[in-house]
Each structure stands twice: as structure tokens, then as C-alpha cells.
Amino acid sequence: MNMQVEELKKRIGEASRICVFTGAGISTESGIPDFRSQNGLYRKNLEFSDVISTSFYQNNPVLFWELFKEIFRVKLLDEYEPNSGHYFIAELEEEKTVHVITQNIDGLHQKAGSTNVYEIHGTIKRAHCQKCGSEFGLNFLTKVELPSCTSCEEALKPNVVLFGDSIHWFEEAVEAALQSDLFIVMGSSLQVTPINQIPLLVRKHGQVPMVIINKEPTYYDYVFDNQIHLPIGEVVTALKSGK
């Protein structure tokens, strides 16, 4: 495994345009749980896909917001801080062009200092009124049981991609990935479609070196030139050693 980390360090040193694709595994090291594994949160015989859906929001906004806040721990979100993985990616911008494609909605990449971030699934830090378009921040959302527009009194919709919504920035993310000269996946099991197709597109359309860092093997490991099955923090420590 040390040889694989050394190979990644070499590839990073040689690259000028890096695209990093991140999933829940990079934020679990900040204490944010992978919400998909929190089966105990769901009540009234509702599955995750039932609750976090546009139809559920439209039909029962009060219960939607109650469960949404419970699942994503909205009230605690500002207490979470970036970890060494987030900071490592942000620091790469000091010398290279870096684009981040993230499945996460926690905003920790921006908090760490990354500037080119495609939040494919949106952000939990804001919500909007579907009638007038007004946006509201996290402080407002956590103060009331049912966040509603101060002008229209309509129930706000979180700026998170719900089941039934289209994902954000897909074309831009694919372009950034294809134009990179190093593509790194960090902390994603690559189970969520359609964004798990991005590594396949990179492999199909270019000769870009591809590396995946994930604690467990994934179905798509075969696509990558280098597979590192270690915690991200451990890999980052090894990458920084000897600098």
C-alpha cells in the first residue's frame, strides 16, 4: 500500500489540472455520519427515498421538514469542521488548477478553502421559495419548525437535490473531469447514479490517470489505475510526509 501512496504522490506532483470526486467518506472523518446508513431515523414506515423526495415535500411539508432536519442534523451542521482531507484538496489550489465534484451537501470543501466546487446534490445550507425565488440561510432554517418565505408564506424547499429532482452541474462536472490530467475519487462507493458514470466517462474518453481512495473496495475499482483502501486521513498524512 505504501507503493500505491507513493505513486499517487508522484502523479499529484506531475499534474497541473486535478479533478477530485468526493463522497460521504471524506466527511465522515469530520463526524458527519453517512445518512444512508441511519435506518433508525425513519418513522411511520417511511424509507429514505420516501422522505427525501419532492412529492413528500409537496404533500406534507411540515413532516418533511421535521424528518429532513432529523436526518441531516441541520441544527448541528455549523459545528462540523473540515478535516485533513478537505484541507489537502484546498491546499492543492496553491500550485494547481483543482476542480472538486462532490456528492456531499455539507459545504465543508468551501469552508476548507476550495473555490471550484460542483455540488452535484446541492447544499443543505440554504433553502428557497418556489414562488418568488427568495433564498434563506441556515440560521433562518433552524429557528422555526416549518421554514416559510417571509414574503409569500410558502413552505421553503431546501437547496438539496431531492428524489424526483435533477442533479446540478452534471455537464460542467463531466467537462472538468475530462479536461483534468489526474482524476481522484475520495470517499465514495460510487453507488449513486448518474454521477457514478463520471469515472466511466473519464476512462472511456481519455488517458487520464485515475485513482480511488476508499476504505472499502467498490464495484468500479477496475476502472482505476490505482486503488487505495485506507482512511482518507491516513492517506493524506502519508502524502504530506517527507515534504
Residue 36 has pLDDT above 90, yes or no: no
Report the Cα 134 to chain-centroid distance in Å. 24
Residue 38 has pLDDT above 50, yes or no: no
Q: pTM for the complete prediction?
A: 0.91
Q: How many CB atoms within 10 Å of residue 49? A: 12
Q: How many CB atoms within 10 Å of residue 76? A: 12
Torsion of CA 143, 144, 149, 151, to 10 degrees: -80
> Averaged over 148-168, what is the pLDDT?
94
Q: How far apart are the first and last CA of the chain?
A: 19
> Averaged over 51-67, what is the pLDDT?
93
Q: DSSP characters for 55-102?
A: HHHHH-HHHHHHHHHHHHTGGGGGG----HHHHHHHHHTTTSEEEEEE
Q: How confident is the model at residue 148 (pLDDT cuts 50, 70, 90)?
A: very high
Is 29 within 8 Å of 232 (Cβ atoms)? yes
Residue 204 CA: distances (Å) to CA of 27, 112, 172? 29, 32, 17
Structural domains of the chain, ranges and CATH numbers in brackets: 1-31+80-120+165-238 (3.40.50.1220), 46-76+126-158 (3.30.1600.10)
> Averaged over 15-41, what is the pLDDT?
81
**CA dist., res. 210 & res. 7, Å (int):** 11
Q: How confident is the model at residue 49 (pLDDT cuts 50, 70, 90)?
A: confident
Least confident interval from 31-40, 45-54, 226-235: 31-40
Q: Cis (ω within 30 of 0) for the bond into 61?
A: no
Average pLDDT, the chain: 91
Residue 41 has pLDDT above 60, yes or no: no
State the catalytic residues: 121
Residue 82 CA: distances (Å) to CA of 94, 207, 212, 225, 228? 18, 32, 20, 28, 21
Least confident interval from 6-20, 73-87, 213-227: 73-87
Percent of the chain with pLDDT over 70: 94
Its sign, for the CA torsion 161, 166, 171, 174, is positive
Kindly report, residue by residue over 74-89, the tens digit of the pLDDT: 877 888 999 999 999 9
Q: Please report the pLDDT score of residue 220 as a whole number.
A: 96
Please tell me whether 19 is known to bind a ligand: no
